[in-house]
Chain A
Amino acid sequence: MLNRQGRPTQGTVSAHEPHATFTGNRALQQIEPLIFEIGHTETTGVDIDPPAPFKSRLGAHARKGEIGLPGLSEPEAMRHYVRLSQKNYGIDTGLFPLGSCTMKHNARLNEKTARMPGFSDVHPLQPVSTVPGALEVMLELSRYLMTLTGMPAVALSPKAGAHGEACGMMAIKAAIAAKGEGATRNVVLVPESAHGTNPATAALIGFSVRSVPARPDGTVAVEDVKALLGPDIAAIMLTNPNTCGIFEPQIVEIAAAMHEAGAYFYCDGANFNAIVGKAKPGDLGVDAMHINLHKTFSTPHGGGGPGAGPVVLSERLAPFAPVPFIHLEGGTPRLVETEADAPEGTAPFGRMTAFHGQMGMYVRALTYMLSHGADGMKQASEDAVLNANYIRAGLSDLMSLPFPDHPSMHEALFDDEWLKGTGVTTLDFAKAMIDEGYHPMTVYFPLVVHGAMLIEPTESESKASLDLFIATLRDLAMAAKGNDKERFTGAPHHAPLRRLDETRAARQPVLKWMPPAPLAEAAE
């Protein structure tokens, strides 16, 4: 028998199943097969004239058989994708409480500007002289990012958070090598509560990782960091506010201790949303920090769009910023594209991307900044923190807080102490939220908290929306405590598919669609 104690992934079947339908559809919830299962190779939605006579020069490279692409009529194709889109849950559907992710306000204005042909039709290889507007956007965005973070330099090109981490850590590695300490300074400190990408990034860049224990109050203490410092320590990677939703109270002391030991301070900026306009990483002693444009400055990364993870750098790391970057020369912006072309005093460590980064994200983020203004961005952070604490206050009498002594920042963290003895787990509770029409919060993260439930409402939600969410969770919590176990262990009851077998999905993943046997033979 497999263990089901830690985190059961299979639900029990309800005794009160609604009768099955002929189609498998459940009213407006439509079952939608894969396009390969409904499309036919002999069907097409468009008529294309057969090509005029031509002489093939493919020779032995010419395709010998059918490739079996599915064909659908135009309405069928439309229905397929619309039905799939209806299965999606995002901030356009409802409150998205996933913590540590910041699915924030995604103004349509940003989409409009990103689609302006002057931005969307720019090709990375066209002459620089033809795209002064695009350069202006990059320059202006850089100026805003440097102002908001209080940092003197920014590398725009990284494509997302973890890519930004890699960029920052490579700059640190280059700076250490420039000091001739490359062989000896090779250990990176990472707190236990860190995002998993932090130790992964450090390891990928060639550092070894040493863990900093979390204090019982969910924070990192400067004494614990100091105890680990030595000539082998290259840097610390710290998230602030941390993944427990707490502002690290000793961050300035930790930064000073790192610098005193000749090491660097990498800050994971995933939660920058909570402090924009309130605190500047530059003032906190940060040497490098990535900013998830797609989290902090709109475009929720669950929305399918690309990410962008610019990295701000301190004076000590600025010379090592990767190409390409824009260099102001006599007030005129110049795009520096190669290391050979780098201005005096800089030593770029290389490049992170083939071209200039995610132009569309630059336009969205700058639109967000310009439309909000300094006061608006500050208010967004204040509202994000207020909303998280409103949820915390609305639930803390029923659900348990692992760190009751610290106020929450942008996310409220609960543990599963309050579920003890109910037979309901954090996972069951999350699945029951699906029945109520909510995407679950982040569960079982951060790892330092048992049965963690991390709720981040963001600044986007109205009071009415928060009240309904709190009332729903209160109803669920009362049911869990009131022995209504069936509502949870069998959940979700109303979703198109019931509890998925995560264990089997992880052990025996099916990653590729295979045609049924007859078609497979025909294709050979």
Chain B
Amino acid sequence: MSETRYTKDHEYIRIEGETGVVGITDFAQGQLGDVVFVELPSVGKTVAKGGEAAVVESVKAASEVYAPVSGEVVAVNSELEGAPGTVNEDPSGKGWFLKLKLKDAAELDGLMSEAEYQNYLKTL
């Protein structure tokens, strides 16, 4: 069963075995507005938890997408380069950014569960 965890910076990571699918939440895409450009890392790059993993640019702003946990980039969603609007249309599905091979699964414990994230949104 897959489980999704969230950061305070509105990234999600959906756990699929030893890898995690990383993207931005529906709330994040709503705040950004129309996404016009996505810059993805190269496969094989290692990222540290909280380090810059990708860049997302909308009509409003350019923002960094931080790695929710440490790991190695094993896949990126290159579809986004030609169709950045997918991030708006389906952020948790087809609008994923990258897949990370987890370095330390214990890092997931510091992230929010679905329910915790929904509560966190209410405080904003």
Contacts and interface: CB of A to CB of B under 8 A. Distances in A.
Contact of A503 (B29, B30, B36, B89): B36
Most interface-central of B34, B85, B88 (chain A CB within 10 A): B34
Given A2-B85, A2-B89, A507-B84, A502 B59 contact: yes
B22 to A, nearest CB: 20
Given A7-B33, A503-B34, A1 B89 contact: yes
B94 interface: no
Contacts of B42: none
B89 A7 contact: no
Contacts of B118: none
Given A506-B36, A507-B84, A6 B31 contact: yes
A85 interface: no
Contacts, number: 50
B59 A9 contact: yes
A444 interface: yes
A176 B60 CA distance: 36
B36 A2 contact: no
A7 B61 CA distance: 11
A103 B14 CA distance: 48
Interface residues of A, number: 16
B84 A6 contact: no
Contact of B61 (A444, A502, A503): A444
Interface residues of B, number: 18
B117 interface: no
Interface in B60-81: 60-62
A3 B91 CA distance: 11
Contact of A6 (B32, B37, B85, B89): B32
B46 interface: no
Nearest to B84: A507
Contacts of A8: 33
Contacts of B4: none
A447 interface: yes
B59 A5 contact: no
Contact of B33 (A1, A6, A447): A6
Contacts of B113: none
Contacts of B33: 3, 5-9
Given A7-B33, A507-B36, 11 more contacts: A2-B34, A3-B30, A5-B33, A6-B30, A6-B33, A6-B60, A196-B62, A444-B60, A503-B34, A506-B37, A507-B84
Interface of A: 1-9, 196, 444, 447, 502-503, 506-507
29 contacts: A2-B34, A2-B88, A2-B89, A3-B33, A3-B88, A4-B34, A5-B33, A6-B30, A6-B31, A7-B33, A7-B34, A7-B60, A9-B33, A9-B34, A196-B62, A447-B61, A502-B34, A502-B59, A503-B34, A503-B36, A503-B59, A503-B85, A506-B34, A506-B36, A506-B57, A506-B59, A507-B37, A507-B84, A507-B85
- 5 tightest Cβ-Cβ pairs between the two chains A and B: A6-B33, A7-B33, A506-B36, A503-B34, A3-B88
